Amino acid sequence: MVKSIAESFSKVVKKWLPDAFLFAVILTFVVFAFGIIFQGQSPVDMVKFWGQGFWNLLAFAMQMVLVLVTGHTLAKTEAVESILESLSKLAYTPAQAIMVTTFFAMGACWLNWGFGLIVGALLAKQMAKRIQGIHYGLLVASAYSGFIVWHAGISGSIPLKVAQTSKNFMSQITGGEIIPVIETIFTWQNLLICLILLLTLPIINKMMIPNEEEIVEIDPSLLEESAEPTGDHPAATPAEILENSRMVSWLLGLFGFSYIVYFFANGGTLGLNSVNMIFLFAGIVLHKTPAKFLKAANEAIKNTGGIVLQFPLYAGIMGMMVHSGLASSISQWFVQISTPMTFPFFTFLSAGIVNFFVPSGGGQWAIQGPIVMPAAKALGVPLGKAAMAIAWGDAWTNMIQPFWALPLLGIAGLGIRDIMGYCVVALLWGGSVISLVLLFL
């Protein structure tokens, strides 16, 4: 049955789903029309809201780009690549490859979403090189399905932001309260959801393997990367000596990690900036020389093109959603029909809807936080649980929102239509697990 459902969704997606950039353009026009129809805004006002929001996510976008770049550079180190090769040897059949890829991509996404996306793509490529008979689209979709847990992990923007100082705009939404990660990421309910998905989603993905005559493999030669200079050639000038000096990387790494230790020793918390800093200096040290590190960083930056181009569009969509009142109307409607028991569940659903139009954890928190958090206080719902309901909703519908799949697809060499039908099944299963835990636990 799972296989039949996946095949049906795949056929629909391949016929109707547009390119990711065009998808953002269509969403722009949809929100524009909704603002006029449901909120009574004029076309001129909606265009104004769009333009006013167009650049509002630049700082957050830079943080997200750095998460991706630092995660990618760390994933491309010899140490991590050696681990990936070893992990690929855990699988001997296509079914095992699907399950192993899902399992480790999810674990990596929990640690760091950018790192997880890159590790998932690289592990999928490694599997496809070694094992014959793998349906490559499903393999890459399995790698992306691990992304469903990213906002419940230690790089999740909402739980990390609300754990920071009360001076930032995120915690001001909570009335100045700081919500530590022990009340968000590390609650037993949140960890239970992650564990259930970690154990079951690999099986769900395995069940979607198509019949033998429908399997589409990829030529392993297409997955080989062209050889490029590694920076290990004999240095001929003082500049090249510095570029290929391990001492420079070690000293810079020592400098960076000294500050990181100082930061945490003096009450610092795990936030987006500290996560980026840890991954940045780990990559610098493990790449051994500045030349190797810069080569990996340049490769990573190439994969951010789609994100860089689409973030302004989604910021414009967010501007229309916020200023027209659409986002508030969606959130308030779900709040109004909620009870203390159902509040986290309905918050999760509303966040999933809003995320479809604003695929940014920080941007979504800015929209929904001012509505959800006061309502949670009034109903007696723990603020950490309310914040994680928004975070899970944001992560959940990423399964059918092509925005965050772009870097993974760029590495894997596929298009969004090749994987999205399978991701719909991951959306349905993941949504069921999250909903049950939020409702009853």
Where does the pLDDT of residue 152 fall: very low under 50, low under 70, confident under 90, or very high at 90 and above? Answer: very high
Q: In angstroms, rounded to a whole number, what is the distance separating the alpha carbons of residues 295 and 179?
A: 39
Residue 363 confidence class, pLDDT cut points 50, 70, 90 = confident
Tell me the average pLDDT of the chain. Answer: 88
Share of the chain above pLDDT 90, in %: 51
Spatial separation of the C-alpha atoms in residues 209 and 180, rounded to whole Å: 41
- Domain segments of the chain: what residues? 2-223+242-440
Average of per-residue pLDDT across 26-50:
96
Q: What is the largest CA-CA distance in the chain?
A: 71
Sequence-distant (6+) residues with CB within 8 A of 262 are none
Rounded Cα distance between 256 and 262, Å, is: 10
Contact 208, 6 (CB under 8 A): yes
The reported pTM is 0.84
Instruction: State pLDDT tens for residues 43-70.
Output: 999 999 999 999 887 877 787 788 778 8
Phi-psi region of 224 (alpha: psi -120 to 50; beta: other; left: phi over 0): beta
CB–CB of 355/396 below 8 Å? yes
d(CA 183, CA 201): 25
Mark residue 231 as left, alpha or beta (left: phi above 0; alpha: psi -120 to 50; beta: remaining).
left
Ranges of beta strands (E only) in 64-113 are: none
Place of tokens 């943080």: 63
What value does the mean pLDDT take over residues 119-144?
93
Residues 6 or more apart whose Cβ sits within 8 Å of residue 66: 276, 280
Is there a contact between 327 and 367 (Cβ–Cβ < 8 Å)? yes
Torsional sign, CA 67, 73, 75, 79 = negative
pLDDT digit string, tens, across residues 408-434: 887 788 888 899 999 999 999 999 999
Question: Residue 89 has what DSSP assignment?
Answer: T
Nearest to 360 by CA among 332, 321, 329, 318: 318
Confidence bin at 293 (pLDDT 50/70/90): very high
CA end-to-end span of the chain: 29
3-state helix, strand, coil in the chain (%, to 5): 75, 0, 25
Confidence band, pLDDT 50/70/90 cuts, at residue 227: very low
**Above 70 in pLDDT, residue 230?**
no
Please check the confidence at residue 231 and state whether its pLDDT lies above 50: no
Percent of the chain whose predicted confidence (pLDDT) is above 70: 93
Report yes or no: 247 and 288 within 8 Å, Cβ to Cβ: no
Query: Which position has the token pair 């049906």?
Result: 8
Give the tens place of pLDDT for each residue, 195-204: 999 999 999 9
> Of 430 and 236, which is predicted with more confidence?
430
Tell me what the mean pLDDT of segment 240-269 comes to.
Answer: 91
**pLDDT for residue 174:** 59
For residues 192 and 113, the model is more confident at: 192
Rounded Cα distance between 250 and 256, Å, is: 10
Residues 6+ apart with CB under 8 A from 114: 64, 67, 68, 69, 70, 71, 72, 155, 279, 407
Q: Quick one: average pLDDT of 234-256? A: 88
Check if the beta carbon of residue 418 is closer than 8 Å to that of residue 210: no
